[in-house]
């Protein structure tokens, strides 16, 4: 079920942890009880000797046999990828600007990734909403959001995405404006500007003759 993984240096096991957790979750129901007792040994077996020794030192003075699988995973993860400082992450969050050409969805995704380590808890969406209003690079979006007396995350997201999409569509229409006008005139039976100009030139030539 689990293959030997390339984390012999003990540094990559934190990236392997989600794979292991997923593998154990997807096993047949009748074997779950058996595997629960074997999780630690199976995980350390595929991680190699270096990671085994690292895990053993991290759980001291306890032994690996006396340490739960969850605690071993947590110790390895904290060793290889320590939790970022919430203060630093909040500074990055509040300094994150929406750059020109960056989509609203990409900007919000970046805020959410930083906010994951800010310990905002259930207020994360509200913090993202506030940062969107203050940091968005599009003045039309910002003005529209500020017009809302009662704004929540979903409403702010929907408004920003709608205005962004409308602006893009308007630019596309503007770029093809000349062609669109000719097509509409042709379909409605109206002469195009170029046809009017040609007719006027023909009339002037005939008069001069």
Given this model, what pLDDT does residue 199 score?
A: 47
* Closest to 51 measured CA to CA, from 20, 25, 81, 72: 72
Q: Tens digit of pLDDT for each residue in 94-137? A: 999 999 999 999 999 999 999 999 999 999 999 999 999 999 99
Q: Tens digit of pLDDT for each residue in 1-37? A: 444 444 554 555 666 666 666 666 655 545 555 555 6
Q: Residue 175, Cβ neighbours under 10 Å: how many? A: 10
36 with 92: CB under 8 angstroms?
A: no
pLDDT grade, residue 144 (50/70/90)? very high
Residue with tokens 């690292």: 54
| 110 vs 69: which has the higher pLDDT | 110
pLDDT, mean over the chain: 77
Q: Which two tokens stand for residue 90?
A: 């909040």
- Long-range contacts of range 158-165, CB-CB < 8 Å, 24 or more positions apart? 160/104, 160/132, 160/136, 161/104, 161/105, 163/138, 164/103, 164/104, 164/138
């Amino acid at each position: 079920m689990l293959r030997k993984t390339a984390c012999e240096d003990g540094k990559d096991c934190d990236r392997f942890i989600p794979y292991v957790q997923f593998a154990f979750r997807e096993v047949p129901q009748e074997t779950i009880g058996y595997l629960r007792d074997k999780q630690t040994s199976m995980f350390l077996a595929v991680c190699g000797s270096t990671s085994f020794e690292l895990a053993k030192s991290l759980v001291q003075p306890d032994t690996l046999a006396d340490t739960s699988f969850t605690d071993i995973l947590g110790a390895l993860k904290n060793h290889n990828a320590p939790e970022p400082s919430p203060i630093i992450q909040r500074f990055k969050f509040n300094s994150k600007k929406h750059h020109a050409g960056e989509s609203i969805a990409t900007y919000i995704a970046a805020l959410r990734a930083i906010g994951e380590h800010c310990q905002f808890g259930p207020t994360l969406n509200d913090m993202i909403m506030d940062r969107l209003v203050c940091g968005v690079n599009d003045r039309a979006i910002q003005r529209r959001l500020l017009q809302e007396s009662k704004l929540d995350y979903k409403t702010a997201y929907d408004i920003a995405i709608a205005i962004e999409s409308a602006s893009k569509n308007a630019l596309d229409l503007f770029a093809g404006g000349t062609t669109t006008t000719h097509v509409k005139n042709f379909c409605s039976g109206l002469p195009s500007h170029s046809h009017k100009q040609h007719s006027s030139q023909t009339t002037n030539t005939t008069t001069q003759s």
